[in-house]
């Protein structure tokens, strides 16, 4: 199954070490807007893996994400774990989200997808995983702990996961801009993941 999944991106783009920022679980009417403002100030693109039911409520944020040059990805309609959901229901949730977003990439919620689910989707979409977790979803961590983990684990080609959600905001928002500044100082370029249409 691992060969069907993308865990990291190209190590270099235009001669610079590259990283790929992703945000899961939005859009949220305040938090995603704050993230977009930070990305705009820093002229950095990202991929937003959106939950269909949230996208349905906030189509104007989906438009803004796209208008500002970011990528929108599918994160299922209702954020189901593939390990706890029948193939039929999981693929139905993917399809319902896809009808809303017409996305070119998919990230399984919790990173949990079965071999048969991945096989069913591999010709339909690019299944994007990650290799650096910010840890912003973990309520036992502080923003400083998340920042330290990001600096320790970031390397060329890394796909980095943040969450534009209420649960993660207290850790994600204080960390995001300092992390982007650090990436710039270290010579990284932030790019969109290359995905096939």
| Residues near 138 by beta carbon (within 8 Å), at least 6 away in sequence | 146, 171
* CA 27 – CA 48 distance, rounded (Å): 8
| Residues near 103 by beta carbon (within 8 Å), at least 6 away in sequence | 50, 71, 72, 73, 74, 97, 125
Q: Flag whether 125 is in a domain.
A: yes
Q: Flag whether 195 is in a domain.
A: no
Q: Flag whether 196 is in a domain.
A: no
* CA 153 – CA 161 distance, rounded (Å): 12
Active site residues: 24, 163
Mean pLDDT of the chain: 96
Q: Flag whether 20 is in a domain.
A: yes
Report the number of distinct structural domains present in the chain: 1
Q: Given this model, what pLDDT does residue 197 score?
A: 61
Please write the tens of the pLDDT for every residue from 160-170: 999 999 999 99
Please tell me the least confidently modeled range out of 1-5, 17-21, 143-147, 154-158. Answer: 1-5
Q: What CATH number should be reported for the domain holding residue 8?
A: 3.20.20.370
Q: Flag whether 32 is in a domain.
A: yes
pTM of the model: 0.96
Q: Could you tell me what percent of the chain has a pLDDT over 90? A: 96
* CA 179 – CA 112 distance, rounded (Å): 27
Q: Flag whether 110 is in a domain.
A: yes
Range of the domain at 76: 2-190
E strands within the chain? 5-6, 12-13, 16-24, 47-50, 71-74, 105-106, 126-128, 132-133, 159-163, 189-190
């Amino acid at each position: 199954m691992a060969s069907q999944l993308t865990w990291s991106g190209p190590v270099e783009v235009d001669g610079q070490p590259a990283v790929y920022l992703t945000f899961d679980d939005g859009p949220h009417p305040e938090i995603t807007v704050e993230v977009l403002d930070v990305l705009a100030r820093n002229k950095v693109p990202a991929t937003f893996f959106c939950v269909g039911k949230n996208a349905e409520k906030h189509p104007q944020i989906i438009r803004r994400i796209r208008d500002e040059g970011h990528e929108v990805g599918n994160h299922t309609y209702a954020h189901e774990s593939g390990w706890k959901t029948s193939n039929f229901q999981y693929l139905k949730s993917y399809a319902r989200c896809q009808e809303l977003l017409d996305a070119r990439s998919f990230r399984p919620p919790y990173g949990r997808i079965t071999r048969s689910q991945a096989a069913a989707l591999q010709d339909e979409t690019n299944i994007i995983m990650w290799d650096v977790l910010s840890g912003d979803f973990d309520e036992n961590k502080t923003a400083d702990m998340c920042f330290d983990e990001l600096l320790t684990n970031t390397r060329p080609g890394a796909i980095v996961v943040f969450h534009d959600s209420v649960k993660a905001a207290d850790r994600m928002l204080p960390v995001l801009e300092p992390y982007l500044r650090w990436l710039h100082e270290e010579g990284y370029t932030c790019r969109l993941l290359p995905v096939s249409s």
